Structure 1
Amino acid sequence: MKVIHLISGGDSGGAKTHVLSLLQNLNKTITAQLVCFRDGPFAEEARAMGIPTMICGGNNIPHLRRELAAYIQQGGYQLIHCHGSRANMIGALLRKPTGLPVVSTVHSDYKLDYMGRPFARLTFGAINAWALRHLDYRIGVSDAMVDLLIDRGFPPDRFYAIYNGIDFTPAPSQGERLAYLRGLGADVEKNSVVVGIAARLNPVKDMSTLVRGFAEGHKTCSRLRLVIAGDGEERQKLGDLARELGVEKEVTFAGWISGGMDRFYSALDVNALTSLSETFPYALTEGARFHLATVATAVGGIPYLIDQDVNGYLFTPGDWQTLGRYLAALGNGDALRREMGEKLYEKASAKFSIQSTVDTQLHIYEEIIRRHNRPKRDRDGVVICGAYGRGNAGDDAILEAILQEMRSIDPDMPITVLTKDPKATRLTYRVRTAGRMDVGTWKKAMRHAGLYINGGGSLIQDVTSRRSLWFYLHNIQAAHKAGCKVQMYGCGIGPVLREQHRKLAASVLNASVDVITLREPDSLKELQSMGVTKPEILLTADPALTLPAASEDEIDSVLLRAGIPTHGKYLCFALRNWKGFEDKAPLFAQAAKYAYETYGLTPVFAAVEKHLDPVAGRLAAAGLDIPHYFLDDAGSAGTIIGALSRMQAVVSMRLHALIFAAGQGIPLAGVVYDPKVSAFLRYIGQENFLDLDALTADALKAMIDRMVSSPISPEEQAAAVQKLRQIEQVNVDTARRLLGK
């Protein structure tokens, strides 16, 4: 593989480090040629590192374009990779004459690159914004940077994320720390806890918040010291602020550190970062290499490294009070610092090494070249429609699973999702989206797609809304008329109560659907009773069964943010405010108290639909006089699955809480507000359920007794779920067949 990299040659900071370390390591595997538009320290350092480097200067853009196009074509390069505004402009101009894909790594927010320089922003900034939109692909230096650009209207399926990686080879001993720190001017003693930061002293780094937060923390932890390595236009302002706050003696301005940063980081106890905007700063991984406890603003890609309360602390930009509390906690907690520093090192060294960065970059190149060479087809890809974008973790889990399965068939296929919240779905899953009412967009997508998926869940029903039934049936008809193959994917059917709706559904499904794959047998009976006979009908399972739990650190973080100790003994209630629930809500409180007093299980009221379920949880917990917790927002499907895996048992009205818990081998009890709940439980051989209407305190306590005292064995439940996961593969195989793959 041959890739040409374009860069101005005057870059510094994180962008410089990223490009040079990346190219040095890429050249061990492929040819990565560097072209700088000016000579100087950047190019000199590149040559010294063994990176093939060429200077192509001058301001005659048409000449530069011709020269580079000829060089690229003669050299047999396969891809053009740009870094920075000038390179992006040249890259955009090279697309047509070379016929090659052009990708840019976006190292920073281009709207902030010229902060405080209005003329440069109006010229270079505007040119860069134009160029970025005329490239084929973009790579964000963090998922947060990708999200930022997608939010600004860039195509969501033309993005990749990469993280700055470093060499985690253990550093040699850096010498005696007190002598080093005192040499920088710091007033430190043996028991001092040294907070450090290495950054430019400019407004984006918001050092004022750091000084204020440090002064706040110092009030309750007098052994805290702060060392700031760096210089810039705010140096005088920050010194004045330290004097004003009475910490002038405890704050050291060390200036720029020469001779590498290992010695600096090795002398610290706490690494800090207070930036208003970041992509993914090297300062945090460099600190992690030295096992430093870390406090940082929750900006850019930083939350992908730091799991709150587990391996570090995050705070909102400008919130110096919270920063002060965190610094005081770390200053007073020697064991806490060591534990957080160790956990951060473990995660950073595993996920953010230079080798991980290089492997990711190579994978991106391979995918871009493969997509560029993909044969053009009149019909390509999939349109997926379902109850998405509503904040319901169950429905969104179905979408996540279907997307994974479509990408397993063809990782490059175009995908469009019909959703209530196009922006949120586009950001979360990085797919093209259309609003449910954006008829023109989704009909256009249908005309170009090979397959329409009516995506999981119980969409064909008229209990919650007759309008939704009409909507899904209309879309199925529209997809069929547009020439798509139509698959209803791992779905449930019903209840469809009104006779006219049953006739309408049967008519549309018989005329417009190719294959229906069902998640449980009760739905098959419902289709048969409605008279649906024309489509091929297969019994499979819910796609959400295939999703894994998040990492242990992510699960810990979700629980800790909700104030829930990470490894207690818990009984989870996943409830929804359905008709008749308010009358039954006190029964759950009685059952919770019974489980706590009898089995030592602390109740956790968890939300699957984060906008609605917390109300049900609080109704059920009203007047509860035992310890209890609320998990109102457990995040993505992976973290919800992980949170449920920490429970000893689950009582649920929500189907997908049962599906998630079953997949983790957790004992279950169902409260049936909809036949789909009992249908799933019977499908896995589980009879521990009762209708909401028939629920009594004694019946609920008896279900808890059965879960705890004589549950279906984990082995039996695991075997049943594994069988369903194997059956679920039929959903994928059917889609592959309909796509002609």
Structure 2
Amino acid sequence: MKVIHLISGGDSGGAKTHVHSLLQNLSHTIDVTMVCFMEGPFSEEARALGIHTVVLPGHNLLRTYRTLRQMIREGGYQIIHCHGARGNMMGALLRRDTGLPVVTTVHSDYRLDYLGRPFSRLTYGTINTLALRLLDYRIGVSDAMTNLLITRGFDPDKLFTIYNGIDFTPRVPALDREAYFRSVGLDADENSVVVGIAARLNPVKDIATLVRGFALAYQECPNLRLLIAGDGEQMSMLKSLAAELGVAERVCFAGWITDTDSFYHAIDINTLTSLSETFPYSLTEGARAGLPTVASRVGGVPYLIEHGIHGLLFPAGDAHSLAKHLTTLCKDPTLRRHMGERLYQRAKQDFSLESTLERQLTIYKTILRRQARKKGHRDGALVCGAYGRGNAGDDAILEAIVTELRQIDPDLPIWVLSRNPNDTRLTYRVNSIYTFAFPRFLWRMRKTHLYINGGGSLMQDVTSHRSLWFYLFTISWAKRLGNQVMMYGCGIGPIHSPANRKRASRVLQRSVDAITLRDTHSRDELIDMGVTRPDVILSADPTVILPAAPPQVVDGILESHGIDPSGKYIGFTLRPWPGFEAKAALFGAAADYAYEKYGLIPVFLPIERRLDVGAARLAAQHMKAPHYILEYTGSSDYTIGLFARMQVVVSMRLHALVFAAGQGVPLVGVVYDQKISSFLSYIGQDLYTDLNQVTVDQLCAHIDAACSRIGDTAFLSGGVERLRQVEEHNSETARRLLAADEVSGT
């Protein structure tokens, strides 16, 4: 593989470090050439690192363009990789004449690159903004940068993410903790908890907020110390501020340091207080040393540090929140250790130099694979379902479908109809159209190959007649406009209205190529409706393929809610439904019973937080036992991980049962809809009762039976393993339809 990189040659800071480190190490694997447009320290250091560097100086744009075009043609390069405004401009000019794919790495917000330089902003800034739109692919340095590009309308299918990785080879500091503190003049002993930061002392780093936050925390924790490593124009102001706040004797200004290994191995808490960042190296350097971190919630920081799990985040400029976090960590050495360990593991896995190199090579291979992809009249899939409404079950269905489609074809363009298309684009990195934007999704149907009616109980008229009519409309038009049509791991019914049953039967007969079902009741319902023409295949809910978050991450989630990770819990997932209010006290009584008899602390876990949290609070009003109500469970893997920590789960929500079943947790179902009993029967579980008929005695008896099954691996896992095996029918069917010949549209 041969790649040519184009960069101005005047870069510094993080962009310079990223490019030099990346190209130096890539050159061991592929053929890399870097072209700079000026001579200087950047190109000199690149040569010293062994990077093949060519400088094309001068301001004659046409001559530089011709030279580059000849170099690329004669050199046999396969990809043009640009960095910065001048590189992007030249890449945009070369794209058509060379026929090569052009990718750029976006190191910073291009709209802010020339702040304070109006002429440069008008010229270079405008050219760069236009050039970015003309290139084939873009790489954001951090998920935050990639998300910024998505919000500005760049195609998620043509975006990649990479991080500033560092070498995680274990470091041996030159000085131990005590010797290092002596060398910089910090008054600290073995009982001190030392907060540290390594940063330039300029306004954007906002060290003043750190000093203020430290002073507040010091009032409660007099063993705190602050070590500031760095230099800059705010040095004297910060020293005066420390004196003004009465902590000058507890704050050490070490100046600019070169021995960063000794610094990070000496301190106890790493901090970052910047007002703006992309993805700072100081975080990964602290992570390499296993340090718990307190940082401002800016740029790419939240993608490394998830609050309460890998560290603690605060709003930029908020000294009081910062002080609260410093106090929490100062008082709890166990929490410091746990957060530092979790941050180390996460950073080593996803933000190391090795992972950065692997990711860059994967991006190149993907670009070349897509370049060779056969260009046909139709390509891609359009997925429609109840997405973008904040329901964890529906979101998990979409995640599972997207995951399986990308396993079938990693380059498949995917479009999703969503009630919140911006959020869907950012979360799943797919293109998204507002659910009811009829002209847009009908136009897209003319270009896609496969239409997916995406999981869940979409074919029912209990909650709404109009939603059923809408889904039937989209299925009908997808077929008319030439798509293969699939209903993916879905449930059917109940459809009560005779007119709706007739309408649904007619559309499914005429317009659907294959239906995969998540339970046997749905198959019976289709037979009763007279649906015989599509291939009907018994499968499973697609979410059974989704994994739980790693145990250490789930520990962090629990700790962030004040829940002991080693405790024993019973999970409840309740939802408002006609008749629920009259039964709420029963659930509270059952929760008390589980605590009193088995020592299981009740935890209420929402699937659709907009509704479920209120139902949990209603039940909790009738409780005496200690309990927790989580208002949000996070992403699918976090939610599944939380259900995995329950000893027993009592649920009215189908996907709470699916998530818990997949983790081998004993289940008690409360049936408000036949899909609950259908699922439990399908996996061989028998502990369920109808909402309208449930009593305290019955619920407690089911909890007794479920508790007796704790640890019964054979019973609990058998049905779920069968589910996972038959779930493969979903992806197998999608693969077959994607390979089918195009249908002629009307």
Offset, 1:219: 1.5
Paired position in structure 1 for 2:743: none
CA distance in 2, matches of 1:710, 1:219: 51
Distance 1:196 1:123, change over 3 A: farther
Paired position in structure 1 for 2:440: 441
The correspondence of residues 274-423 of structure 1 with structure 2, limited to 5 A, is: 274-423=273-422
Distance 1:255 1:97, change over 3 A: farther
Which amino acid counterpart does residue 662 of structure 2 have in structure 1?
G
Distance 1:389 1:333, change over 3 A: closer
Paired position in structure 2 for 1:82: 82
Which amino acid counterpart does residue 669 of structure 2 have in structure 1?
G
Which amino acid counterpart does residue 270 of structure 1 have in structure 2?
I
**Structure 2: gaps (5+ residues):** 741-746
The correspondence of residues 73-472 of structure 1 with structure 2, limited to 5 A, is: 73-189=73-189, 191-257=191-257, 259=258, 261-472=260-471
Paired position in structure 2 for 1:675: 674
CA offsets, 1:47-73, max 9 Å, x none?
111111111222222222222121112
1:16 partnered with 2:16: yes
Specify the SS of the correspondent of 1:286.
helix
CA distance in 2, matches of 1:341, 1:37: 43
CA distance in 2, matches of 1:167, 1:129: 33
Offset, 1:490: 0.9
CA offsets, 1:382-402, max 9 Å, x none?
111011111111111111111
- Whether the 8 Å CA contact 2:310–2:556 is kept in 1: the answer is no
- Whether the 8 Å CA contact 2:32–2:52 is kept in 1: the answer is yes
Which amino acid counterpart does residue 627 of structure 2 have in structure 1?
H
Q: Over aligned residue pairs, what C-alpha RMSD do you find?
A: 1.9
Paired position in structure 2 for 1:56: 56
CA distance in 1, matches of 2:697, 2:335: 45
Paired position in structure 1 for 2:547: 548
CA distance in 2, matches of 1:95, 1:410: 26
CA distance in 1, matches of 2:286, 2:213: 20
Which amino acid counterpart does residue 353 of structure 2 have in structure 1?
I
- Whether the 8 Å CA contact 1:226–1:251 is kept in 2: the answer is yes
- Whether the 8 Å CA contact 1:559–1:631 is kept in 2: the answer is no
- Whether the 8 Å CA contact 2:176–2:262 is kept in 1: the answer is no
Paired position in structure 1 for 2:662: 663
**Alignment TM-score, normalising by the size of structure 2:** 0.96
Offset, 1:729: 0.9
- Whether the 8 Å CA contact 1:385–1:419 is kept in 2: the answer is yes
Offset, 1:279: 2.2
CA offsets, 1:484-529, max 9 Å, x none?
1111111100100011111111111111111111111101111111
CA offsets, 1:132-175, max 9 Å, x none?
22221111122122112111211111111112211121223312
CA distance in 2, matches of 1:730, 1:638: 23
- Whether the 8 Å CA contact 2:452–2:486 is kept in 1: the answer is yes
CA distance in 2, matches of 1:85, 1:232: 28
CA distance in 2, matches of 1:103, 1:571: 50
Distance 1:515 1:337, change over 3 A: closer
CA distance in 1, matches of 2:176, 2:590: 60
CA distance in 1, matches of 2:407, 2:333: 47
1:570 partnered with 2:569: yes
CA distance in 2, matches of 1:518, 1:339: 43
Distance 1:343 1:449, change over 3 A: closer
CA distance in 2, matches of 1:485, 1:75: 44
Distance 1:34 1:394, change over 3 A: same
Offset, 1:321: 1.0
Offset, 1:710: 4.4
CA distance in 2, matches of 1:405, 1:291: 35
Offset, 1:672: 0.5
- Whether the 8 Å CA contact 1:456–1:488 is kept in 2: the answer is yes
Residues paired across the two proteins, number:
740
Specify the SS of the correspondent of 2:394.
helix
CA distance in 1, matches of 2:531, 2:52: 66
1:43 partnered with 2:55: no
CA distance in 1, matches of 2:526, 2:679: 17
- Whether the 8 Å CA contact 2:308–2:557 is kept in 1: the answer is no
CA distance in 1, matches of 2:337, 2:659: 34
Paired position in structure 2 for 1:704: 703
Offset, 1:194: 2.8
Offset, 1:185: 4.7
- Whether the 8 Å CA contact 1:550–1:642 is kept in 2: the answer is yes
CA distance in 1, matches of 2:338, 2:76: 51
Offset, 1:685: 0.8
Offset, 1:292: 2.4
Distance 1:180 1:573, change over 3 A: closer
CA distance in 1, matches of 2:111, 2:240: 30
**Structure 1: gaps (5+ residues):** none
Specify the SS of the correspondent of 1:669.
strand
**Alignment TM-score, normalising by the size of structure 1:** 0.96
CA offsets, 1:357-393, max 9 Å, x none?
1111111110011112211011111111011111111
CA distance in 2, matches of 1:579, 1:320: 47
Specify the SS of the correspondent of 2:739.
coil
Offset, 1:343: 3.5
Offset, 1:642: 0.5
CA distance in 1, matches of 2:709, 2:413: 49
Which amino acid counterpart does residue 95 of structure 1 have in structure 2?
R
- Whether the 8 Å CA contact 1:298–1:316 is kept in 2: the answer is yes
